[in-house]
Amino acid sequence: MSSGFSEDSSAEMERTFIAVKPDGVQRGLCGEIIKRFEQRGFKLVAAKFVQASEDHMKKHYLDLKDMPFYAGLCKYMSSGPVFAMVWEGQGIVKLARMMLGETNPADSKPGSIRGDLCINIGRNIIHGSDTLDNAKLEGESGQQRATTSSAARR
Ligand SMILES: Nc1ncnc2c1ncn2[C@@H]1O[C@H](COP(=O)(O)OP(=O)(O)O)[C@@H](O)[C@H]1O
Ligand SMILES: [Mg+2]
């Protein structure tokens, strides 16, 4: 039986990939977004500005390639730096998606990041992995890009 004070040791520790999109970075919302995850009790384990190429975004959003907004989405996502982060905590993949709100800010409840900070589905300021598998893939890919881009700058 739980003491009521200790953590639930049966709960899985997870990591997820969160990125402030170029519009969120440009609007100065990185601090607000970090604050929300910290205050919820999650731990920031990696963070870096990454300038993604259009090709990288085409791969990242490959599942949306048949959508009419695909080309515009890849352009928007490579239009400036994104602030890529890995966050850790129990159940974080699902909880982070709840904190983000719905894909369309207009459907997002007040109190969620998209529900409080943006209006337009095409400029919805933040990305969060939707499954644990994608979180692993996207976290590794973000790390590689960060390493590649800093190496390229030397
Ligand atoms: N109808 C749309 N018009 C423009 N952009 C869209 C539209 N639907 C989705 N997007 C963009 O594509 C991104 C990826 O879509 P999706 O994976 O469905 O949402 P989410 O980011 O919530 O996981 C969205 O965050 C948004 O930036
Ligand atoms: Mg998605």
**How far is the centre of ligand 2, averaged over its atoms, from the C-alpha of 142 (Å)?**
15
Give per-residue pLDDT as tens, 5-34.
Answer: 555 555 679 999 999 999 999 999 999 999
Q: pLDDT (tens digit, 9 = 90+) per residue, 89-147?
A: 999 999 999 999 999 999 999 999 999 999 999 999 999 999 999 999 999 887 666 55
Task: Report the candidate in 99, 98, 89, 97 with the shortest Cα–Cα distance to residue 11.
Answer: 89
- Closest Cα to atom 5 of ligand 1: 122
Residue nearest to atom 19 of ligand 1 (CA): 103
Among 107, 119, 51, which Cα is nearest to 83's?
51
Predicted TM-score (pTM) of the model is 0.90
Cα 5 to averaged position of ligand 1 atoms, centre (Å):
40
Q: Which atom of ligand 1 has the smallest separation from the CA of 61?
A: 14
Ligand 1 atom closest to residue 102's alpha carbon, by position in its atom list? 22
